[in-house]
Amino acid sequence: MADYYEILEVTHEATDTEIKKSYRRLAVKYHPDKNPGDKSAEEHFKEISHAYEILGNPEKRQLYDQYGEAAFTNGGMGGGGMDPFDLFREAFGGMGGGIFDSFFGGQSRRSDPNGPVDGSDLRYNLEITFEEAVFGADRTIEFQRMSACEVCSGSGCEPGTSRKRCPRCGGSGQIGMSQGFFTIMHECPNCHGAGVMAEKPCRQCGGSGQRKVKRTVQVHIPPGVDTGTRMRVAGEGEPGLRGGRNGDLFVITHVREHEIFQRDGLSVYCSVPIDFPTAALGGTVDVPTVTGKTSLEIPAGTQTGDVFTIRGKGMPSLRGQGRGDHYVKVFVEVPKKLSDEQRNALKHYSETFQSKGNGGSHPVRENFLEKAKRFFQIGA
């Protein structure tokens, strides 16, 4: 076996700082994450680690200087040696975990890949009727989510076995993939970033520690919800791992369109047809609102498109107090069919205007005709 000083590319007179510096440089260069699939790099990484384990420790270095490698083989002290990855982490530990990332340009690593991980939140899209949005409702929803496996209690290990270092990523939880000049770090697909995996995967869940379960949850929809309203059901998301908290379930409502009502926030809109005599003479019409039927006074001379506001008859506020307003947009419906009597009455009605002149009865039309006349005079 080569000389440990040669492996670390330092002289026999090197200081502890120089040895550590050289180790760091070489360990990063030959780390398996940076050289995926390169067996010789991995071997060299192990050699560097072993050499540094000895030379990085003043007592061991002294023994090595006196007795050579023999001091550490059978019968000698410090036999089997440290795990090269633990050594690596230890050597960089004082500089903060982030150093690994900045060397390898990878995405940020979890501070502790074996620590608790909170479960993900889940989203459930719930379609509700317009009426349910107005009055509120209690709905039962059914969905699938993951739950801790009951055979292995979520550990993923066959009962009686434990977890071991992931052979694919060597325990780092990440795999480097070369993309041109850069090495991009990806989560190890073998251990999903944990760095460890079941020695013998649980037969029930295949080692994931989780299995799909059907959940039934009661959701209370408060009056006033709108499309996009989020309701949180605490703890009904994906389960946490290794003691992490469960995610939440978010129920997001989608309110179906209504036949006669439109809505914008707390305001409700409704188009109401009225007949010509009511528009001309004025009167009272029944109009529907989300709070029930209400009567609306139509003043004489009401036009198509006129909007009337009925205060406090719109959507209830989600915050509990108050309601929006209800807007009635009227349009005048011209009769499609007429009896002889009605036709005659209308002819007679029309003649009353011709005999007396317009005299301000139709101001919009009179104004329009005046402008049209001016246009034709200029053009002539």
List residues binding Zn ion (CB under 5 A). Answer: 149, 151-152, 166, 168-169, 188, 190-191, 202, 204-205
Shortest separation between residue 122's beta carbon and Zn ion, angstroms: 21
Shortest separation between residue 72's beta carbon and Zn ion, angstroms: 29
Shortest separation between residue 241's beta carbon and Zn ion, angstroms: 13
CA dist., res. 72 & res. 87, Å (int): 17
* CA 142 from centroid of its chain's CA atoms: 20
Class of residue 239 by CB neighbours under 10 A (exposed 0-12, middle 13-18, buried 19+): buried
Return the number of the residue (57 or 208) whose C-beta is nearest Zn ion. 208
Return the number of the residue (172 or 278) whose C-beta is nearest Zn ion. 172
Return the number of the residue (174 or 302) whose C-beta is nearest Zn ion. 174
CA dist., res. 58 & res. 282, Å (int): 104
AA identity, residue 84: P
Return the number of the residue (133 or 194) whose C-beta is nearest Zn ion. 194
Inter-CA distances, 71 with 59, 119, 265, 380, Å: 12, 50, 80, 119
Residues 6+ apart with CB under 8 A from 39: none
Return the number of the residue (189 or 305) whose C-beta is nearest Zn ion. 189
Shortest separation between residue 108's beta carbon and Zn ion, angstroms: 17
Shortest separation between residue 209's beta carbon and Zn ion, angstroms: 6
Structural contact between residues 207 and 201, judged by C-beta atoms closer than 8 angstroms = yes
Shortest separation between residue 35's beta carbon and Zn ion, angstroms: 16
Return the number of the residue (23 or 100) whose C-beta is nearest Zn ion. 100
Inter-CA distances, 89 with 18, 69, 85, 191, Å: 18, 25, 6, 19
Shortest separation between residue 250's beta carbon and Zn ion, angstroms: 28
| Residue appearing with tokens 């908290």 | 245
Return the number of the residue (200 or 254) whose C-beta is nearest Zn ion. 200
| Residue appearing with tokens 């070369």 | 178
13: left (phi over 0), alpha (psi -120 to 50) or beta: alpha
AA identity, residue 231: M
